[in-house]
Structure 1
Amino acid sequence: MDDSSQSPEDVKRQVLAAHARVLELVDAVDDARMAAPSALPGWSRGHVVRHLADNARAFDRQARLALKGELTDMYDGGVAGRDRSIEERAARSAAVLREELRETQRALEETWDTFAVEDWQRSVRFRQATVLATLFARWREAEIHAVDLALDYRPRDWSPAFARHALDFLAPRAPEGTRLVLRATDHDLTRALGEGTTVEVSGTLGDLAAWMAGRDADGTLETSADSLPRLGPWPS
């Protein structure tokens, strides 16, 4: 979901800040810590960093070809190709992984800098959407995976703007047959998602976004049900 209340330039500034933050988080990580487990099951921090670099490269290609009126797949070889690239290169040295992330993010940012306002509406094959959708998607990738690195960046550190966007994007995860009411305890926010039996979940804005994103909350979420409902799949 693209938040029409934010201009592409507003979102781009926040993505660039997220890019800088990820680089800062991994700046002092040595080889041993890069090879250590991340918060994602089965993935080391190296897997996360490699994925972020591959994702930046893929979005850069989507954007550059969109300017030419051309469409292309996100990843060579599809999802299998993406996964193979991550697995084959996640064990590289911390310095190599860090530099690759820096270079791919810089290339993506430089491509975005060439965009006029109307160019953000150009079509891409990613989700059969627009370049603007890839900008929002990169924001999610950078912010959520920064938490996955398990390097002292948590959902409580997400900006309210990002947490609200994440909740809007993840709204389709509301369980079928459930009217899921989310209430933030630290912000003036209530979201009612889906239809059916009402279940309320309350907590901080960051914790609500983390839970909807399948990540551990920093605090305790309260619910009107016996337990937190099981969420549906990630939006496709």
Structure 2
Amino acid sequence: MIDTHCHLDLPVFDLDRAEVLAAARAVGVETLVIPAIARAGWPAVLAQRAAASAERPACRVALGLHPLYLPPPEAAESALTALRALVAAERPVAIGEIGLDFHRADADRDHQLALFEAQLTIAREAGLPVLLHVRKAHEEVLAALARVGVEGGIAHAFGGSEQQAGRYLDRGFRLGFGGMLTFARSTRLRRLARALPRDALVLETDAPDMTVARHRGERNSPAYLAQVLAALAEVRDESPELLAAHTTTNAREVLAL
């Protein structure tokens, strides 16, 4: 399996990162994709890739600026220049975690959109896919993808409509499903996961956040990806082995792993 979205670089894993990785490997996680959140965190993300060993899953990285952790407008150009240079030097598998988050009423939509489109341009110029964070903004994100001309990536923690899912798929995207799928009350999400074609699906944990039902209230872990797979198999009435193979192939294809 491939965990396509896991924040293993965060300090919450500092005391037991090796054990967390060993547990993930033990349940069949072969690769983790670690997306950046803020400029200050880029070195920590890259450090996880550099720490590769036979005892842990392979770590791949994405570099970007999360819409909730953007630099202020006066520092935006400097951050984008630094991102462009680091992408050229380090060649991540994607630009991310980037996107739009309009959940809060006081969201600075113009600032988010400006930096989102700038990062989409970096992705297009570098020929890289993008890892999208989208909250209350699917229509705006889809419009920006069309304006900038970006195709390919993953819509992380997808929660849009089936119609919106189809439009992402038309642009070469895959859709990420994680811990929320394990909750019986997530009826709309489970219905969507059942309806989509297998080629649309990838697995993720978003650890340490958005944990599975069995570990509600606890820190999430990439080892819990097996529980996400089990939930996906349940709602689709398909074997875990079949879905593990398909979701792994999908992730490899979209991120060129």
TM-score above 0.5: no
- Give the alignment's TM-score, normalised by structure 1: 0.32
